Amino acid sequence: MNNSRQIKHLYARAGFGIRFEDLHDQANQSIKKSVKKLFKASEKIEFLDALNENIDLRPKPVAQTDMDKMALQAERNKQEKALNDAWVKQLSETDAQLREKMTLFWHNHFSCNIGNAYYEQELNNVERANALGNFKTLLLQVSQTPAMLQFLNNQQNQKGHPNENFARELMELFTLGRGHYTEQDIKESARAFTGWAYSGKTGVYTFNPRVHDNGQKTFLGKTANYCGEDIMSIITDNKQTAVFLCTKLYRYFVNDIPDDTHVNQMADVLYKANYEIKPLLEFVFLSDWFYEDKNIGNLVKSPIELLVGLNRQFYISYQNPDVLMQFQRTLGQVLFRPPNVAGWPGGRSWIDSSSLMYRMKIPSTILNAGLIDFTGKATPEDEAYLASQRKQQLNVIKRVQAQPNWDKFLHDIPPDTTHLQIAEFMLEPKLDKTVVDEMNSSADIKSTIIQIVSTPEYQLC
Amino acid sequence: MERRDFLRNTALISGAFMVPAFLKPLEAMAKGDLTGHKNLVIIQLSGGNDGLNTVVPYGNDIYYQKRKTIAINKPDIVTLNDMQGLNPNLSALKEIYDQGWMNIVNSVGYPNPDRSHFRSMDIWQTGSDADQFLTTGWIGRYLDSNCQTCKNPYTAIEVDDTLSLAMKGAKMKGIAVQDPGKLFQTTREPFFKDLVHDHGDTNLNEDNLGYLYKTMIETYSSADYIQKTSKTYNVTAQYPATGLGYQLKNVSKFINSGLDTRVYYVSLSGFDTHVGQQAQQGRQLKIYGDAVAAFIKDLKSTDKLDDTLVMTFSEFGRRVEQNASNGTDHGTANNVFLFGGKLKKAGIFNDAPDLTQLDNGDLKYQVDFRDIYATLLDKWLDVSNSQILNKNFVGLDLV
């Protein structure tokens, strides 16, 4: 029995794509063994530690000159780049690819965009630590990070003048989804989260009882003096939370269009497992429907999945990793800079005329260490940096300085593999005759590879 | 190699045979259908331009009280009326203003304003409420509306490398073209060319692969159309040697060559002036004013100004009171500029911002930005605004 198609699909979805060496080892094993192997490799947790200083905790100088502010903005910008580089590197090199893939999922689910990269790193590590753990723990821990407290304005949520932003997003985006609570539920539950804050002096979460509202709150039909944790329990006791999460996970791992039967099966598993993520994912990866034709090779890779998949496949090292951030900008997904609280919409929204051309061009540009003749737009957040540095646009890197490890890549390809077989290995969708003809007619193996990564098919996983 | 050459030759010889059916109307569209169609040009100032130092309320003492070190001195102001005048760096626009080709709408914003760049830009680009998250842009939804001239990506062109959310609809998206020649070259790389010409029908299914192939073919076809059409016209007018000058010169080329495009989109960065505002904003406004003045005069000379409407916006204005670093922090309502040969009301549309009735130190909006969008959609792009903006806006008597 040869399971290579299934194993390849599993790695494309649960990770960032398979390498020849992985497939060679596993083609004749059961799928169950491969799933187990993926989880095993993801047991270790490698925290990001690129940043060790929280700039906001520095003592505030009495008088700040314009030069001081300019320098500070430049430092923030440097931290943001360092964090971005560090995560892309980890995504590209880790063995714990399922953990990173889920961290990427939570990164979008708990979308957060703030100016402090140190807090972003902390939030990212909370998401990584709990990526395959318990959703209830994750939800609580994320909600108490300075990053999220700041982003959703819970610092301003106090008894007498509540700020409803956190309560609203908690229900709309993190748990129940629209239509399963009322505006009144938001108002009442916001009061339960009063006093959840972090200290500006230490940068650590501290509950502040003095501004907490101890009154009765009526939430989803029940009345008591609820605290924030109580509200979260009521929300997760509601099975709709499991359905909402599983719908999103289905779209992430299986298909853009949710299948109600499969989503409900998933929600049953998650709910019965008390919101443990691991059994849910095992269930998905071992379901027959996960391997049905219509669920193979039909998801549009996010820009990060595209770049990371390429890096992993070819063991690429970058002399100047900033170019990766430039590519993220061009393709519309800069890590730690999601467009709004709802995150990146994903799917076909990644693709327009220009982004598709760049997506088909960037892989060969990287593999050939070629010239870049396009730039991404400054994100709204880049603006403060630009203005403070008296610039009109971001610096643009003109040449990719990167080195793929061709020797290692080629070495792992079994002898006698045809060009077409390499294409079938590297591309998830079934190949059309045109592509087959192109592969059969290409002159040498390197040009074959360059063509493979330049196809529309390579955009899918 | 032989096979590929063979296919390429076949494609050339048989011509229309290789063009997928859904592309045919586009190729067959006669130029005559398009004469006299109207163009909308949107200029985005990114970073939150300080409206109060752009159109200065110099007749109001509060302005000078709140901006001790960064106010524009009265003698330097390009006066428009006895209350408001332009920043001296916009002096090139005075001539345009005097000709009746410019309109200033004061205090434009929306309820419950958001002071974060990315959120407020999102709101302006999608045309959403402050508590609503849309994944499509307002121009994108105009493309989706299936209006008579919205069939192709190049109905909306962004003169840039990448496409803004404003230009993305659920089904249709605009196209980003910084340089038509470069786009053409990119799409004509031999391998892409082969894929476009030789793909099988299975690759045009409704699934995501089909979507990718369709997008690729549309891009290929659009790049050809834009390149071939635009190179028939040579811009002779002088433009300043700045990024924006270059972009608007390209827009002029597109418009004057008769490109079947309704909406153009360009952006200028660098307006987030928290620190040392005067020099930084002054530089950016000069780039803006000089380029726009050149563009408007160019269009006038080629008889296209009556068919063109230019709108400039920024994601928010800045606080009324300056900060301690000779800059301003994020605020709310702001002015919007309109330019064109057929404005209903030239000059200043409404009262100068009220500097006494503030909302926590910020201007209160008087005009919802979506009333401006509604006006452009209804009166200029000929679609009903409620279809695009998800509810009906009354609009303004602007055009």
**For the segment A46-104, what is each residue's pLDDT rounded down to a tens digit?**
999 999 999 999 988 777 787 888 888 899 999 999 999 999 999 999 999 999 999 99
Query: What residues pair up with B312 in beta bridges, in sequence order?
Result: B43, B337
For residues A109-136, average pLDDT: 97
| Residue A374 confidence (pLDDT) | 73
pLDDT interval class at B7 (50, 70, 90): very low
Chain A residue closest in CA terms to B204: A432
| Residue B33 confidence (pLDDT) | 45
For residues A417-425, average pLDDT: 93
Higher pLDDT, A63 or A457: A457
Over the stretch B67-98, which tens digit does the pLDDT of each residue have? 999 999 999 999 999 999 999 999 999 999 99
- Kindly determine whether residue A69 and residue B187, on different chains, have CB atoms separated by under 8 Å: no
pLDDT interval class at B36 (50, 70, 90): low
Chain B positions touching A347 (Cβ under 8 A) are 208
pLDDT interval class at B25 (50, 70, 90): very low
pLDDT interval class at A1 (50, 70, 90): low
What phi and psi, each to the nearest 5 degrees, are found at residue B304?
-105, -5
User: ipTM of this model?
Assistant: 0.93
Dump the DSSP string for A398-430: -B--EE--HHHHHHTSPTT--HHHHHHHH--SP
* Contact criterion met (CB below 8 Å) for A316 and A286: no
Q: Does B146 touch chain A (CB under 8 A)?
A: no
* Contact criterion met (CB below 8 Å) for B113 and B123: no
- Kindly determine whether residue A351 and residue B211, on different chains, have CB atoms separated by under 8 Å: yes
For chain A, give the mean pLDDT.
Answer: 93
For chain B, give the mean pLDDT.
Answer: 89
- Kindly determine whether residue A380 and residue B186, on different chains, have CB atoms separated by under 8 Å: no
Residue B332 Cα, gap to closest chain A Cα (Å)? 16
For residues B343-348, average pLDDT: 95
In sign, the C-alpha dihedral spanning B64, B66, B67, B69 is: positive
Rounded Cα gap, residues A109 and A248, in angstroms: 9
Question: Domain segments of chain A: what residues?
Answer: 413-461
Rounded Cα gap, residues A195 and A207, in angstroms: 6
Cα–Cα distance list, B116 to A103, A383, B123 (Å): 26, 12, 11
Query: How many Cβ pairs within 8 Å bridge chains A and B?
Result: 182
SS percent in chain A: helix, strand, coil, step 5? 55, 5, 35
| Residue B1 confidence (pLDDT) | 34
* Contact criterion met (CB below 8 Å) for B157 and B175: yes
- Give Dmax (Cα) for chain B: 79
- Kindly determine whether residue A457 and residue B202, on different chains, have CB atoms separated by under 8 Å: no
Q: Does B165 touch chain A (CB under 8 A)?
A: yes
Task: Evaluate if residue B314 carries a pLDDT over 90.
Answer: yes
Cα–Cα distance list, A219 to A188, A191, B371 (Å): 6, 11, 38
Q: What percent of chain A has pLDDT over 70?
A: 98
* Contact criterion met (CB below 8 Å) for B398 and B108: no
For residues A110-138, average pLDDT: 97
* Contact criterion met (CB below 8 Å) for B87 and A309: no
- Kindly determine whether residue A353 and residue B325, on different chains, have CB atoms separated by under 8 Å: no
Question: Domain segments of chain B: what residues?
Answer: 34-179+241-389
pLDDT interval class at B283 (50, 70, 90): very high
- Kindly determine whether residue B131 and residue A168, on different chains, have CB atoms separated by under 8 Å: yes
Chain B residue closest in CA terms to A428: B209
What global pTM score does this model have? 0.88
pLDDT interval class at B18 (50, 70, 90): very low
What letters, b where the CB count within 10 A reaches 16 and e where it falls short, cover B77-113?
A: bbebeebbbbbbbbbbbbebbeeebbbbbbbbbbeeb
Over the stretch A154-197, which tens digit does the pLDDT of each residue have? 999 999 989 999 999 999 999 999 899 999 999 999 999 999 99
Residue A225's Cβ-count burial label (10 Å; 0-12, 13-18, 19+) is: exposed
Comparing CB atoms, the residue among A66, A429, A455 nearest residue B276 is A66
| Residue A377 confidence (pLDDT) | 75
Rounded Cα gap, residues A438 and B203, in angstroms: 15
Q: How many helices (H) and strands (E) does chain A have?
A: 22, 6
For residues A128-148, average pLDDT: 98
CATH class entry, domain B34-179+241-389: alpha beta
Query: Tokens in use for B344?
Result: 């209903």
- Kindly determine whether residue B219 and residue A113, on different chains, have CB atoms separated by under 8 Å: no
Residue A202 Cα, gap to closest chain B Cα (Å)? 25
Query: What residues pair up with B314 in beta bridges, in sequence order?
Result: B45
| Residue B126 confidence (pLDDT) | 97
Rounded Cα gap, residues B372 and B355, in angstroms: 23
| Residue A392 confidence (pLDDT) | 66
For residues A396-405, average pLDDT: 86
Q: Does B323 touch chain A (CB under 8 A)?
A: no
- Kindly determine whether residue B168 and residue A377, on different chains, have CB atoms separated by under 8 Å: no
* Contact criterion met (CB below 8 Å) for B198 and B216: no
For residues B390-398, average pLDDT: 95
Rounded Cα gap, residues B101 and B167, in angstroms: 26
Over the stretch B358-375, which tens digit does the pLDDT of each residue have? 998 999 999 999 999 999
Task: Evaluate if residue B100 carries a pLDDT over 70.
Answer: yes
Query: Tokens in use for A377?
Result: 């737009």
Rounded Cα gap, residues B374 and A20, in angstroms: 56
Rounded Cα gap, residues A336 and A149, in angstroms: 16
- Kindly determine whether residue A381 and residue B117, on different chains, have CB atoms separated by under 8 Å: yes
Task: Classify B386 in phi/psi space as left (phi over 0), alpha (psi -120 to 50) or beta.
Answer: alpha
